[in-house]
Structure 1
Amino acid sequence: MSNDKLLRVLQLDDSDARIHDPVATAGEWAVPGSFHFWDEPLEGLSGARRQAFANGFLGIGSFGWTTLVTVAEIDRGELEQVTRMLAAYLVKAFGAPDVATALPAAREEVAFAQGLCEHPVGTVIAVSRSFDGREFSEDFRRWTAPTEIDHEHFRIFGVDIHDA
């Protein structure tokens, strides 16, 4: 396998299925998918569409949405296949004249996603998008698993009970 990396859909539970429609498939490749909102009036977004804008990554294959992705290695052949799938989607969903015309835009989106993958394989990434009435911004957050875990003192979450 080469040193190329790309984002892969990560689903820790079924929460994406309850907030995204359509929902991405666990394990498929992903891109931020911000292009979905370039020509859309963002003030009126609601429901699943609002969630996709605010916190979604676009799965390549299902073209559904997910909240979390992880950095993963990808070989060059599969990377090219993913790029062509995205170009075909741009033809089908956005009216690009043909795949050859859509390829530069697909390559740009995949390259942007790869730019988010400068972290170690397994790093988890989330996005938060906002709109201020004139333009939207994106903030990408990442979590990297510790290389050595002290299981006695490490916990993912906990419940604290306070007496009233």
Structure 2
Amino acid sequence: MRLPRAIRLDPSDAFIFDPAAEPGEWVVPGAFRFWGADPAGLSGKPRQAFRSGFLGLSSFGWSTLATVSEATSAEREAAVTLLSQQLVRHMGAPSEAEARPAAEGEIAVAASLCDHPVGTILAVERTLEDGEIRERFRTLHRRAGARLDPARAFAFVPVEEEEPVEDFDIRTLGRTGS
């Protein structure tokens, strides 16, 4: 069986989420974290979590991306148990036993997202439409033989001097003849 795990291709999750999920922890979509909240009224880090976060089971933090991973039956069972505990701790469920059906359902949803090859990257986009939370999931596939190497996607170059800042209007960049 397969379940999604948090993955970081760059350090941005640590800056945009509070808290951020740890790479390698099991994740679920996590829209239930916004039950009782007004998503339209969210701002800052909570808004970013609403818009594009997978919920980590250990940290109860957020990850922008997840990766399809193999999971044993024992790991799946441990994920259900951990989520049941987190639902009691963070969401006010009366007991682990009463939280377990909800945890089972959320893990089943997470597993349903993993009908892709191991290593496929998953992303979520969450919106509020007609008063309901809608989730859309995307997949990013590696090319055959390609390594997962974040350094290939981003490069950091040390700068010794400050460069002058150009003043421009981004709205006019695509226009010609101005």
Q: Shorter-chain TM-score: which interval? A: 0.7 to 0.9
Unaligned runs of 5+ in 1: 150-154, 158-164
Secondary structure at 1:118 match in 2 = coil
Larger radius of gyration: 2
Aligned to 1:52: 49
Give the match for residue 89 of structure 1: 86
Answering whether residue 100 of structure 2 is matched by residue 106 of structure 1, we say: no
Asked whether the equivalents of residues 31 and 109 of structure 1 are also in contact (C-alpha less than 8 Å), the reply is yes
Residue 8 of structure 1 aligns with which residue? 5
CA-based RMSD of the aligned residues comes to 1.6
Q: 1:35 aligns with which of 14, 32, 36?
A: 32
SS at match of 2:20: coil
Distance between the aligned counterparts of 1:101 and 1:109, measured in 2?
14
Q: Among the aligned pairs, what percent are the same residue? A: 49
**Ranges in structure 2 where 5+ consecutive residues have no aligned partner:** 147-151, 155-178
Q: 1:128–1:138: 8 Å Cα contact kept in structure 2?
A: yes
Count of aligned pairs: 150
2:62 is aligned with 1:65: yes
1:59 CA displacement:
0.6
Instruction: Tell me, yes or no, if the aligned pair for 1:53 and 1:129 is still in contact at 8 Å.
Output: yes
Distance in 1, Cα, partners of 2:145 & 2:25 = 28
- For residues 53 and 145 of structure 1, the distance between their equivalents in structure 2, rounded to whole angstroms, comes to 26
Provide the rounded CA distance (Å) in 2 between the counterparts of 1:17 and 1:77.
29
2: CA distance, partners of 1:71 / 1:56:
16
* Match in the other structure for 2:126: 129
- Matched with 1:118 is 115
**Structure-1 residue corresponding to 2:165:** none
Q: Where in structure 1 do 4 or more consecutive aligned residues deviate above 3 Å?
A: none
